[in-house]
Amino acid sequence: MPARLIESLATTEPLAELFSDQSVLQAMLDFEVALAWAEARVGVVPPAAAEHIAAVAKADAFDMVALAHAMFRAATAAIPVVKALTEKVRARNPEAARYVHWGATSQDVADTALILLLKRARPLLENDISRLETALAKLSDQHKNTVMLGRTLMQAAPPVTFGLKAAGWFAALHRSRARMDAAFGEALIVQLGGATGTLAALGEKGVAVAQELAKELGLACPEAPWHTHRDRLATLVCSCGVLTGTLGKMARDVSLLMQSEVAEAAEPGGDGRGGSSTMPHKRNPAGSTLALAAAQRVPGLVATFLSAMVQEHERAVGGWQSEWPVIASVIQLTGLAAASMAEVAEGLTVDGQRMRANIDATKGVIFAERAMILLGSKLGRDVAHKVLEEATRTSVTQGRHLAEVLAEMPEITSHIDRVALRQLEMPEQYLGSAEAFRQALLASPGKKNRNQEQ
């Protein structure tokens, strides 16, 4: 993985490669080559100049260490790159060197290079999100009848199904994905404005060059340069924040279900996954850990980006210069969370028997609401609530099943028959609209499209 050890828990291998020094530099060089070809097509620079620029714009031919040092001195990434590219073109053809970076400004290079990286990141994110959606839909269908404890404020509550829980994860992920897709659609645009966003150096051909540049790079062409208007990128960053939070919620649930005292689900293990350096018996929630770590970091990065949106006039001082590492981290962390939870969902073990045992361990107190509803129609809800509070206290203190306690209370048996009491603690009979909700959550356009493709 082309990443430092300190970043090994903050990215995936494909995204680390995408945001590597060589990849970032090549994106900048790709802008310069595309600009030259665009200008050649509209008659601004000679076609031969574009050929010479394209011939030397290869990242592996540049001194990364020297460029990094020069970038620090220049307080911008583009100026040293343009200078180094110009020297390489000059060594090949002095006349062509005159046309490197013609009519553009430093931010045009930096912004468009960033957009190119985002364009290449998009399918990497979508691939892992698709894997996760497919796995969650499958889990939901497999466990539509697997009853488990509902849990509110970390306490046992009336039953749900694991199928409903997985469908909830799926639907939240699908909504988050739709937001991110829309944000990518708006953000993948070329940046070409020249010194102050007017392309005055290109005369009347500025718009034509921008349009040709966009075609060359496979990007959309905006209505005007956007040097200090960062709303599109901000929307993308925010959508990644929501998506990562959605993945973090799933990771939190899975990690809690893996607690030894709960033991209702388990992530896939093996091959160094989820072990402990000191406790051989442990099977840690490794994937959920990585997703939760990402979900904890991304909100702060989102806030940093939003604070940098307040940019001055036609070129910011420090605002857009802060964005590269922020956006790179957000995308990599989002990708890490998606890839981690895809692996979790594809190999998740669900223990239906343990889920049923945990329901039984409550000795029926989670069905106090059901009993209250049955009794409430006779006594009124407030009176029924008080009666059931007393009954549940007795059940807990004496370690007896709630139905057994209720069967000894005349104020209960005079209104609820013995058959109803015997069936009181059957979780399958107190799931309400769980299955209808599960099906509705899965009935999204994304799932329908995948089923049609299959």
How many CA atoms are closer than 13 Å to the CA of 423, on its beta-carbon side?
9
180 with 236, same domain?
yes
**Domain extent at residue 95:** 13-104+193-222
Residues whose CB is less than 8 angstroms from the CB of residue 94 and which lie 6 or more positions away in sequence, other chains included? none
Q: State how beta strands 155-161 and 265-266 pair.
A: unpaired
List pLDDT tens digits, range 373-388. Answer: 888 888 888 888 888 9
Question: Is 7 a member of any domain?
Answer: no
Residue 298 lies in a domain: yes
Give CA–CA dist 249/434, Å, rounded. Answer: 20
Task: Supply the pLDDT for residue 452.
Answer: 44
Are residues 246 and 185 both part of a single domain? yes
CATH number at residue 18: 1.10.275.10
- The residue-averaged pLDDT of 259-285 equals 73
Q: What is the mean pLDDT of residues 280-296?
A: 86
The predicted-structure confidence for 296-334, as pLDDT tens digits, reads as follows 999 999 999 999 999 999 999 999 899 999 999 999 999
Give residue-wise pLDDT tens across range 23-80.
999 999 999 999 999 999 999 999 999 999 999 999 999 999 999 999 999 998 899 9
Task: Identify each DSSP E strand in 199-337 by its residue range.
Answer: 265-266
pLDDT at residue 270 greater than cutoff 80 = no
- C-alpha dihedral sign at 177, 178, 180, 185: positive
Q: Are residues 258 and 345 in the same domain?
A: yes
What's the pLDDT band for 280 if we cut at 50, 70, 90? very low
Quick one: 34 exposed, middle or buried, by C-beta within 10 A (0-12, 13-18, 19+)?
Answer: buried
Percent over 90 (pLDDT), the chain: 84
Answer yes or no: do 217 and 230 share one domain: no
Residue 429 lies in a domain: no
Alpha helix locations (H) across 348-380? 352-360, 368-379
Would residue 2 count as lying in a domain? no
**How many domains, in total, are found in the chain?**
3
Residue 409 placed within a domain: yes
Whole-number Å distance between alpha carbons of 82 and 344: 45
Print the SS3 string covering 132-196. HHHHHHHHHHHCCCCEEEEEECCEEEEEEEHHHHHHHHHHHHHHHHHHHHHHHHHHCECCCCCCC
Shared domain check, 300 and 234: yes
Compute the distance between CA of residue 130 and CA of residue 342 in angstroms, rounded to an integer: 8
Question: What angle in degrees, to the nearest 10, is found between the helix axes of 434-442 and 162-187?
Answer: 30
Residue 82 lies in a domain: yes
For residues 127 and 383, give the distance between their C-alpha atoms in angstroms, rounded to a whole number: 55
Q: Are residues 154 and 294 in the same domain?
A: yes
- Catalytic machinery residues: 276, 315
For residue 22, being part of any structural domain is answered with yes
Same domain? 198 vs 298? no
Residues 92 and 148 in one domain: no
